[in-house]
Chain A
Amino acid sequence: MKVKHVKLFLVSVSLFFGALFLASCTPSQAQASKPGALLWGENCVRCHNAPSPSAFSDSQWEVVGKHMRIRASLTADEVDKIVEFLKMAN
């Protein structure tokens, strides 16, 4: 049991720092000031490949937007801007 815990701890620490290292080159920006296209690129790839705007029609994006807002606990502001962008770019 002990060895397992140590292994797990080492795995977690290396995952965390590995990711921080990879992330260190991206500039920071407050969520609220980001445009929809950027939020789409950052958020819609976290669980699955991001769908392109042309995948759905305006009214379909409204349903998908609600579904993903709830499923992924995205913030209201993010989803509004992303759906706006998808409807404009499809």
Chain B
Amino acid sequence: MRKVLLILVLCTAMLSAQEKPGESRFLLRGYAHSGVEVRGDETTFVGGSFNPIFLWRQSDKLLFEAELEVEYENGETLIGLEYANMSYIINDYATLRLGKFLLPFGTFAAKLHPAWINRLSSKPLGFGHDGVGPARDLGVELRGGIPLGEAKMTYSVYMINGPALNDGTNPNVEPEEAGMLLYDLGEDNNNNKAIGGRVSFLPLSNSSMEIGFSGLYGKVGSVESKYEDVAALLYAVDFSYVSKVSFLSGVVDIKAQLNGVRVDDASYFNVEDSSNYSFSNQSSAYYVQMSYRPVNMSTDFLNSLEFVGRYSELSFPEGALWTSDQTQYAFGLNYWVDWRTVVKLSYQFADTGAHESEGEEGEASNDAIFLHWAFGF
């Protein structure tokens, strides 16, 4: 904690020292959020999270970006490195990035997850921790945007350490979750690097619509284990549409993403009954979100409101000890204090399918009401 404070003090000093314009520019920004959550008969204040973002524009061609996540959870202050990378702008169409970066695997992780951008207080099913698909990793990336007359496209190709397979042999990482992929481990478990990319098209001349396709492939098994040759193919399709709609006097925003993970079949050891088992290892998750903000109404109060609805679904493989099928609905009403400050009230209910394995119908559970605020600065 003391280290973070020291860094902040140093940065503030650097900021105030910048009086005459020079090549180099520094910006300290970030966001914070917290809130209160009601689940069943439990009501808690949660999520005191503070994310400082450091941006150095070294020259016209060089940018460094880093984000820390300082969270208060279960009585402990946790500090995480969200990303830290350097970008070198090669030319109008290509930028090289090196370091730890948010992966362009779909759009949620790289572009929509910060609390002041996400229209709801929670993440869609399968898009948070233990989700389907990666959010960040260490590696190298080439990316850019290309004009195509009235339309546009973007691309990214990257090489990263990649996900690792939980093969059930390490007692420290939940053997009953054998077959699951672990993301963002910091160090690779083999020599093989994972290769991935995303292309997206913005077919309309006002850039309001974007459709993106992402893929990632690599070996995930630990070297010199019997899982050495197990590989995984991950893919995502994303969709975004944001536009003013005059007959609704407001802005309509539609976001959707589908993630899929396919891991080669392998046989795992069941610690409970000492048997070997295997299954078709496919997981998927998707969400569709729509929001509407009446920005052209007669009063400031109405202009600052926003209505949101989201549906998400998650499916983990049948036959795995972590098999699960879940669905979730979330509805929200937001009040925007300014462009980066929002108070979000939302209600969500989920069918976690928790009892399906016992032959019962999944029952509606995990109902929750959230009142969160998010503050960008």
Binding site for B on A (CB under 8 A): 4, 8, 11-12, 15-16, 18-20, 22-23, 25-32, 42-43, 45-52, 55, 59-60, 62-64, 66-67, 69-78
- What chain B residues lie within 8 Å of A45 (beta carbons)? 242, 251
Q: How large, as a class, is the contact surface on chain B?
A: 35 or more
Contact B339 A23 (CB under 8 A): no
Chain B nearest Cβ from A6, distance in angstroms: 13
Contact B145 A31 (CB under 8 A): no
B146: interface (CB < 8 Å): yes
Contact A42 B207 (CB under 8 A): yes
Contact A70 B241 (CB under 8 A): no
Contact B339 A73 (CB under 8 A): no
11 extra interface residue pairs, beta carbon distance < 8 Å, beyond A22-B252, A55-B339: A22-B241, A23-B209, A29-B150, A46-B240, A48-B117, A51-B340, A67-B27, A69-B145, A75-B92, A75-B145, A78-B145
Contact B206 A42 (CB under 8 A): yes
Report the Cα distance A51→B339, complex, angstroms: 6
B239: interface (CB < 8 Å): yes
B313: interface (CB < 8 Å): yes
Contact B315 A30 (CB under 8 A): no
- What chain A residues lie within 8 Å of B26 (beta carbons)? 63
Report the Cα distance A4→B312, complex, angstroms: 12
- What chain A residues lie within 8 Å of B169 (beta carbons)? none
In the complex, which of the residues B146, B243, B286 contacts A23, with contact meaning CB atoms closer than 8 Å?
B243
B193: interface (CB < 8 Å): no
Which B residues between 106 and 134 are near A, CB-CB below 8 angstroms?
A: 107, 110-112, 116-117
Report the Cα distance A75→B94, complex, angstroms: 10
Chain B nearest Cβ from A31, distance in angstroms: 5
In the complex, which of the residues A31, A47, A49, A64 contacts B111, with contact meaning CB atoms closer than 8 Å?
A47
Judged by DSSP, the binding face of B is: strand
- What chain B residues lie within 8 Å of A11 (beta carbons)? 256, 288
- What chain A residues lie within 8 Å of B25 (beta carbons)? 59-60, 62-63
A30-B149 contact in complex given A15-B256, A73-B154, C-beta closer than 8 Å: yes
- What chain A residues lie within 8 Å of B245 (beta carbons)? 22
Query: What is the 8 Å Cβ interface bit string for chain B, positions 84-97, against chain A (1 contact, 0 not)?
Result: 00010100110101
Chain A nearest Cβ from B94, distance in angstroms: 10
Chain B nearest Cβ from A8, distance in angstroms: 7
Contact A52 B339 (CB under 8 A): yes
Which residue of B is nearest A38, CB measured? Answer: B206
Contact A23 B204 (CB under 8 A): yes
A42-B150 contact in complex given A60-B27, A71-B110, C-beta closer than 8 Å: no
Q: Which are the 6 A-B pairs with shortest beta-carbon distances?
A: A73-B154, A76-B92, A19-B241, A49-B339, A73-B145, A28-B205
- What chain B residues lie within 8 Å of A30 (beta carbons)? 149-150, 205
Contact A70 B87 (CB under 8 A): yes
Chain A nearest Cβ from B202, distance in angstroms: 9
B30: interface (CB < 8 Å): no
Contact B111 A72 (CB under 8 A): yes
A63-B87 contact in complex given A48-B340, A74-B145, C-beta closer than 8 Å: no
In the complex, which of the residues A12, A19, A48, A62 contacts B57, with contact meaning CB atoms closer than 8 Å?
A62
Contact B204 A26 (CB under 8 A): yes
In the complex, which of the residues B87, B92, B107 contacts A77, with contact meaning CB atoms closer than 8 Å?
B92
Report the Cα distance A72→B150, complex, angstroms: 18
Report the Cα distance A75→B63, complex, angstroms: 16
Which B residues between 141 and 179 are near A, CB-CB below 8 angstroms?
A: 143-147, 149-152, 154-156
Contact B156 A15 (CB under 8 A): no
Contact A48 B243 (CB under 8 A): no
In the complex, which of the residues B145, B206, B239, B256 contacts A26, with contact meaning CB atoms closer than 8 Å?
B206
A50-B339 contact in complex given A19-B209, A29-B150, A73-B144, C-beta closer than 8 Å: yes
A8-B258 contact in complex given A23-B204, A30-B150, C-beta closer than 8 Å: yes
- What chain B residues lie within 8 Å of A27 (beta carbons)? 205
- CB<8 Å pairs between A and B, sample of 13: A15-B254, A15-B288, A26-B204, A26-B243, A29-B205, A30-B149, A48-B116, A48-B339, A49-B340, A50-B339, A63-B57, A70-B143, A74-B145
Q: Of B21, B107, B243, B254, which is in contact with the most chain A CB atoms at under 10 Å from its CB?
A: B243
